[in-house]
Amino acid sequence: MQKEDRINSHIGGFNADEKGYYGEFGGAFIPEMLYPNVEELRQNYIKLMYEDSFQKEFNQLLKDYVGRPSPLYFAKRLSEKHGCKIYLKREDLNHTGAHKVNNTIGQILMAQKLGKTRIIAETGAGQHGVATATVCALMGMECIVYMGEIDIARQAPNVARMKMLGAEVRPAKSGSRTLKDATNEAIRDWINNPVDTHYIIGSAIGPHPYPDMVTRFQSVISEEIKWQLKEHEGRENPDYVVACIGGGSNAAGTYYHFLDEPEVGIIAVEAAGKGINSGESAATSALGKVGIIHGCKTMLMQTLDGQITEPYSISAGLDYPGVGPMHSHLFKSGRAEFYSATDDEAMAAGLELSQLEGIIPAIETGHAFAIFEHKNFKKDDVVVIGLSGRGDKDLNTYIDYFKLA
């Protein structure tokens, strides 16, 4: 595709328009203190991202450093079990163990082009924090990662990784002390350090242009699925693409090149926690309504009074009260089917994948595999599941849950 086409063919429709709106969702609801930073990024991100030199460096790093393309693997035993043709997009095999690094590689190059010297990030499960700390080590940049105090406790291996990579991990001690609060703290840091700092948001959330920028960096996932599926099946488009959704960066990347292909069914699996109506859930599409969180208008879990509520999921990476604006639009417009999986369903699906295919997924990813509890596929259906991350970081949770020790 020509450069201009790559830029323009993905403006509007199910993607962001020039002001960052996906239908009624998106935009940039930011305090004036953030305006210069966000505006600088907005004016430059498309231009910089599609420069030949940027693309060359980005693709080279994805190939040599991240290990892309990630395989599209036909999961024979899982397919037999569930009566359809299941392919796994192996983002778990990326360097650092999840899809998150696609975005951090892109954003660190962006930060360099913008002349920034200091990087901040928020993290939930720690995967984005590790991916950010990794690229900061790679590029020799200062790195500060905000992480909720509770998440620090439940994701100890990733905290250690970040420290070993030279990052400073700062605990977010306010509110629910999880991902939402880590994001607040990172935004406050950016307000306090407006000139030299770039904020690498890890999900398809935040003020425009973040959702679109993150989605474009992650879109390499669906770009690869297309040609890989062609090799396997003789066609580019599967019948379904399935992904788990917290903020939704893995899902956005997995769906991106299929959004305008109506024959491809798009399936999102949210975290229901202990059950949608248990009061301990993170199923935003079921429990949320339109509001403003972290600078964008989107579906979010809140009280009648507009106070953002504290979500719950066994997986720290899905424990977010909102969902990216693209996904709100996909939900509202009916383009995507939304389901939610409970902690128990996700854990069982993770165990099943481990024992049928020899792949231990992240608990976040386990939610996507719980789709088979909720939807029946036809025998000939080709179903691509985003295997967004590996489960090493979750071993303690698995050990406790399944009493493996």
Partner 1 sequence: MSNRITTKLQEDKKLLSIYFTAGYPALNDTVQIIQDLEKNGVDMIEIGLPFSDPLADGPTIQESSTAALKNGMTTELLFNQLKDIRKTVSIPLIIMGYFNPMLQYGVEAFCKKCQEIGIDGLIMPDLPLDVYQEDYEATFKKYGLINVFLITPQTSDIRIRQIDDASNGFIYMVSSASVTGSKSGFGQEQESYFERIAAMNLKNPQIVGFGIKDEETFQQATKTAKGAIIGSAFIKHLTSKGVNSISEFVKAIR
Q: Which residues bind partner 1 (CB under 8 A)?
A: 27-33, 35-36, 174-175, 180-181, 184, 187-188, 191-195, 291-295, 302, 304-309
E-strand ranges in 226-295 read: 240-244, 265-273, 289-293
Q: Is 285 a catalytic residue?
A: no
Q: How far is the CB of 396 from partner 1 (least distance, A)?
A: 29
Q: How far is the CB of 22 from partner 1 (least distance, A)?
A: 16
Q: How many CB atoms lie within 10 A of CB 78?
A: 22
| Residue number with CB closer to partner 1 (93 or 191) | 191
- 337: which strand partners? 267
Q: What is the largest CA-CA distance in the chain?
A: 56
Tokens of 23: 């239908």
| Residue number with CB closer to partner 1 (180 or 390) | 180
| Residue number with CB closer to partner 1 (40 or 239) | 40
Q: How many CB atoms lie within 10 A of CB 230?
A: 12
Q: By the 8 A CB rule, do 320 and 180 touch?
A: yes
- Point out the catalytic residue in the list 85, 89, 91, 100: 100
Q: How far is the CB of 132 from partner 1 (least distance, A)?
A: 20
Q: Is 19 a catalytic residue?
A: no
| Residue number with CB closer to partner 1 (12 or 306) | 306
Q: How far is the CB of 295 from partner 1 (least distance, A)?
A: 7
Q: How far is the CB of 229 from partner 1 (least distance, A)?
A: 41
- Point out the catalytic residue in the list 203, 222, 340, 388: 388
Return d(Cα 249, Cα 91) in angstroms, integer. 12
Q: By the 8 A CB rule, do 147 and 161 touch?
A: no
CA angle 284, 286, 291 (to 5 degrees): 50
Work out whether the CA dihedral 194, 200, 202, 207 comes out positive or negative: positive
Return d(Cα 23, Cα 194) in angstroms, integer. 30
| Residue number with CB closer to partner 1 (51 or 196) | 196
Q: How far is the CB of 11 from partner 1 (least distance, A)?
A: 19
Tokens of 266: 């798009």
| Residue number with CB closer to partner 1 (28 or 360) | 28
Q: What is the DSSP letter of 94?
A: S
Return d(Cα 311, Cα 308) in angstroms, integer. 9
Q: By the 8 A CB rule, do 45 and 109 touch?
A: no
- Point out the catalytic residue in the list 79, 85, 113, 122: 122
Q: What is the DSSP letter of 90?
A: E
Q: Is 122 a catalytic residue?
A: yes
| Residue number with CB closer to partner 1 (263 or 305) | 305
Q: Which H helix or E strand runs over 3?
A: helix 3-8
Q: How far is the CB of 365 from partner 1 (least distance, A)?
A: 28
Nearest to 125 by CA among 344, 363, 285: 363
- Which parts of 125-256 fold into alpha helices (H)? 127-139, 149-154, 156-164, 179-192, 210-218, 220-233, 249-255
Residues designated as active site: 100, 122, 388
